[in-house]
Amino acid sequence: MSGLRQGCPQPDDPPAATARPVIHPGRWFAGLAVGWTVIVVSLMIWAFVQSRREVIEAGRIQARTGIEKDVLYRRWNAQRGGLYAPADERTPPNSYLDHTERDVVTP
């Protein structure tokens, strides 16, 4: 050991406890890429689930609206005695249907 100093780390010595860990750029980039991919995929899944919920809710709203319209029309029709509604103050005739046989008269 003529050319080596005492107390200095030698090439064959194990690393000291105070030595800084070596950062490998390839591993760091791979970890960053995996983390970013997990975040993006998670956001895509969340957006898909939210979109599906909104579409289902819009369908429910349209179905309720259609049912309410049908019930309202049937109630209006039943209040006037059936299919034909005679012209009166509550149900005036349509002025755009000016025809001589507009009002049906049955025996």
One digit per residue, pLDDT tens: the chain, 107 residues?
555 556 565 666 555 566 677 778 888 899 999 999 999 999 999 999 999 999 999 999 999 999 999 999 999 888 877 777 777 888 888 778 777 777 777 76
- Cα(87)–Cα(97) distance, integer angstroms: 13
- For residue 95, the model assigns a pLDDT of 79
**Which are the contacts of 30, defined by CB distance < 8 A and separation ≥ 6?**
none
- For residue 34, the model assigns a pLDDT of 95
- For residue 100, the model assigns a pLDDT of 73
53, 45 Cβ separation under 8 angstroms: no
